[in-house]
Structure 1
Amino acid sequence: MCNEQARRVALGLLRDDINDLRIPIHFPEGLPNLEPTDSIRITDRNVILRAAPSGGAELVVRRWSWPGSHGKPVYNFRSEGRRFEKGRCLIVADAFYEFSEGEPDASGRRPKRKRKWRFEKRGEPWFAIAGIWRNHAEVGEAYTMLTIAPGADVAPYHARQVAVIERRDFAEWLALDARPEHLLQPPPPGTFDVSEVTERPSENLLI
C-alpha cells in the first residue's frame, strides 16, 4: 500500500491549473506555505482540495491518516464495492512510491532492504489522488487515499495502487450531488513514468 508521496508543485501553478479547469478555488484558511518535499509520510500534512460550501473547491492542509479501530492508521482505503457519498477530496501529489522485494541471491535469500519505486504522471507536473476526509475525535480533520486494482504500470511492483482522478474529472469527483465512483478505475498503460529510488544507506526502508 502507498505510504509515501511527494509534493513539489508551487502554489501558483496549482492555483493556475485549477482556474484553467474553471473550478473556482477558495482558501478558507489563507494561502498555505507550501514547502516542496520529496517525502510525505503517514501522519504528515499535505494539501487537499475538497468541495467548498459556496461552490467550487477549497484548498486546505490536513493530516494524512486517522487512527483506526485497532490503533493502526487508516492511510489507504479500499474502494471496491463502496459508495462515497460525502467527504470526497483530491490529494495533491507529483509522485507516489511503492516498495517491492529485492531479487534473491544465489542462495535464494532476499535482501532485507526493499526496492523503492517512484511513480510520476507522464506529461503532467502534478496530479490528484482520490481520497476521503473526515473529522476524527482524536486528530481533527484528516484524509486517506482510496485504492484500486493496479493498472499496467503499477502491477509489476505492487498488488494495489492509489486511484488517480484525471483533471477533466476533478469537478465531478468533488461535486456534492455527484455519484462519481465510476471514476475509480485502473489507468491505461503508459500513464506513469517509473524509476527506482536509491536511498542513502542510513535511511530505513524496512516496511
Structure 2
Amino acid sequence: MCSQFQVKLPLHVVEASFSHTRFPLRFPAGRPNIEPRDEVTIGDSAAVVTLGEDGPEMAPLPFAWKGPNRRPVFNFRSDGRRFDGSRRCLVPASGFFEFTDPQPGQKRKTRWLFTLQGEEWFWMAGIVRDGAFALLTTEPGEDVAPYHNRQVVVLPPDLGPDWLGLTRPEDALLRPLAAGSLTVERAFPPLEPTLL
C-alpha cells in the first residue's frame, strides 16, 4: 500500500487546475511553501486541498490518523463505500511509491516510483478524519498489478475538482486508470548506468 509519495511541483501549477472552475483555490492559513520533497511518509505534513465554505482551500495536514488500535491509517479502501458525508481531500503529488521483495543481494525492499504519463503531477483522492488525511485505494490497474494488489486513486490534474465538488459519480473517479497511464521506474536499489 502507498505509504510514501513524492511532491516536486510549484504551487502555481496546482492553482491552475482550478482555473476552469468558478472557485479559485484559497489559502486560509496563508500560501504554503511547497518545497520539493523526494518523499512524504506517514506522520509528515503535506499540503492538501479540501472543500471549505467558500470553495477549495489548501492547508497542511498530517499524513495518517490513528485508528482504534492506535496504528496509523494512511490508506483507506474505497471499494463498496460511499463518501457523501466524508470530508474529501486532494493530495497533489508528482509520484507515489510501492514496494516489492528485495533484489538479489539487497536487504531492503525494492522501491518503485509511479508517475502519470505525460504529466508532471497528479492528484491522489483522499479523506480527512481527526485532522489528518488518508489516501483512498482501489483495485490495481494493469500498471500497478505486477507490484501490488491495491493502488491509490490517481486523478489527472483536471479531474481533481470533480472529486471535491461531487460533479461526477464516485465510481467514475474511484477506479484505476487505463493501462499505460502510469510509468514506473525502480527507485531503490538504483539502476546501474549502462555503458555505451
Equivalent-residue separation in structure 2 for 1:4 and 1:18 (angstroms)? 25
1:148 aligns with 2:143: no
Contact persistence 2:95–2:114 (CA under 8 A): yes
Change over 3 Å in CA distance of 1:54–1:23 after alignment to 2? closer
Corresponding residue for residue 25 of structure 1: 25
For the residues of structure 1 that align with 2:20 and 2:162, how far apart are their CA atoms?
15
Cα distance in 2 for partners of 1:195, 1:68 equals 32
Q: Under a length normalisation based on structure 2, what TM-score does the superposition of the two structures give?
A: 0.88
1:66 corresponds in structure 2 to 65
Question: How far did residue 18 of structure 1 move?
Answer: 2.7
How far apart are residue 182 of structure 1 and its match? 3.4
Which residue is 1:158 aligned to? Answer: 148
Is 1:77 the counterpart of 2:76? The answer is yes
TM-score by length of 1: 0.84
Tell me, what secondary structure is at the counterpart of 2:19? helix
Cα gap change, 1:181/1:53 in structure 2, threshold over 3 Å: closer, same or farther?
A: farther
Amino acid at match of 1:162: V
Cα distance between partner residues in 2 of 1:180 and 1:23: 21
> Which stretch of the first structure deviates more once superposed, 39-48 or 182-191?
182-191
- 1:130 counterpart residue number: 125
Deviation, 1:27, is 0.7
1:176 Cα deviation (Å)?
5.9
Contact 1:21 1:168 in 2 (8 A): no
Unaligned runs of 5+ in 1: 106-110, 201-207
1:178 is displaced (CA, Å) by: 6.8
Gapped runs of 5+ residues in structure 2? 191-196
In structure 2, how many angstroms separate the alpha carbons of the residues matched to 1:125 and 1:18?
16
